[in-house]
Amino acid sequence: MHTVIEGGPTFAHIHVDLAPGERLTAEADAMASMAADIGMQARLNGGFFGALARRFLGGESLFVNDFENATQATRRLTLTQATPGEIRPVALKQDDGGICLQPGAYIASTPGVEIRLRYAGLASFIGREGLFKLHAVGEGTLWYGAYGSLLEQPVDGEYIVDTGHLVAYDPGLQLKVQLAGGVFASFFGGEGLVTRVEGRGTIILQTRSLSGLAGWLNPRL
């Protein structure tokens, strides 16, 4: 499988050249274009109950699409995301613990990658980040994306993140949703709820947030 990300960082999209027999799983509606003889099959995202949980508790789509090249030649598939922004691949190894993704960040993965649902805690639910979080594990490549650019921030100890800007993080990190400051600062300072990240690892942030854009637009409608 040969993949190339073009148009980045602002308009990243992934061209995937599938060799005969190769398969790829992608988020519903991620396909922009493809050779007509690539097979595409919708599948519940992790079994019936798993899919329901992912949809209503994890904020992900109910379905994902499995693409398969059943022809005898290489075929191209182009994938993208809803918002303009950066896309990154991450190589997962069987024993490296995987990566945790915030709702909406997942774009695609190779067949060896499994997306699990982990309980994220009530605080996450209150912070409107879903009751569960997505944990990708296994062997293969996963692509995730964001609105804006992606920036990596190492954490050793604790770090505060605006909740709408968190995209991905090492599974070993602990997340807690809290008020940005005092009650006054939190609601009048424009930051509201933030996420406190504790432990040692890396967090990945998006430089824009869709909820931020909506929040700016709403009073002007």
Partner 1 sequence: MDIDIHYGPGNAAARVQLGANERVTAEAGAMIAMSGDMNIETTTHKAGQGGVLKAMRRALAGESFFMNHYTASSRGGDLWLATTLPGDMKVFQLADQKLIVQGGSFVAAPPSIDIDFGWQGFKTALAGEGLFWLHISGTGPLIVNSFGAIYPIAVDGEVIVDSGHIVAFDETLDFSITKAGTSWISSFLGGEGLVCKFTGTGTVWCQSHNPPGFGKALGPMLRPR
Residues that bind partner 1 (CB under 8 A): 6-7, 10-13, 15, 27-29, 31-37, 39-42, 61-65, 76, 78, 80, 82-84, 104, 210-211, 213-214, 217-218, 221
Comparing CB distances to partner 1, the nearer of 44 and 131 is 44
- In whole angstroms, the minimum distance from the beta carbon of 124 to partner 1 comes to 18
Dihedral angle of Cα 133, 134, 136, 137, to the nearest 10 degrees: 50
- Measured from the CB atom, the residue of 33 and 202 that comes closer to partner 1 is 33
CB of 207 to partner 1, least distance (A): 14
**3-class secondary-structure state, position 60:** coil
Smallest gap, in angstroms, from Cβ of residue 42 to partner 1?
3
Q: How far from 33 is each of 17, 40, 144, 174, CA to CA, in Å? A: 12, 12, 18, 39
> What's the CA gap between 191 and 161, in Å, rounded?
10
CA distance 41 to 10: 30
Q: How far apart are CA 174 and CA 142, in angstroms?
A: 22
Residue 36 beta carbon to partner 1: minimum distance, rounded to whole angstroms:
3
Nearer to partner 1 by C-beta: 92 or 166?
Answer: 166
Closer to partner 1 by Cβ: residue 103 or 140: 103
Q: CB of residue 5 vs partner 1: minimum separation in angstroms?
A: 11
Q: How far apart are CA 53 and CA 109, in angstroms?
A: 20
CB of 49 to partner 1, least distance (A): 17
In the block, tokens 């024993």 appear at 95
DSSP string, 133-177: EEEEEESEEEEEE-SB-EEEEEEEEEEEEEGGGEEEE-TTSEEEE
Rounded CA-CA distance 14/6 in Å is 6
What are the beta bridge partners of residue 91? 141
Which residue lies nearer to partner 1 by CB, 79 or 168? 79
Comparing CB distances to partner 1, the nearer of 185 and 213 is: 213
**Which amino acid makes up residue 187?**
F
Nearest distance, CB of residue 211 and partner 1, angstroms: 6
Is 167 or 197 the residue whose CB approaches partner 1 more closely? Answer: 167
Tell me the two tokens of residue 30. Answer: 């991620």
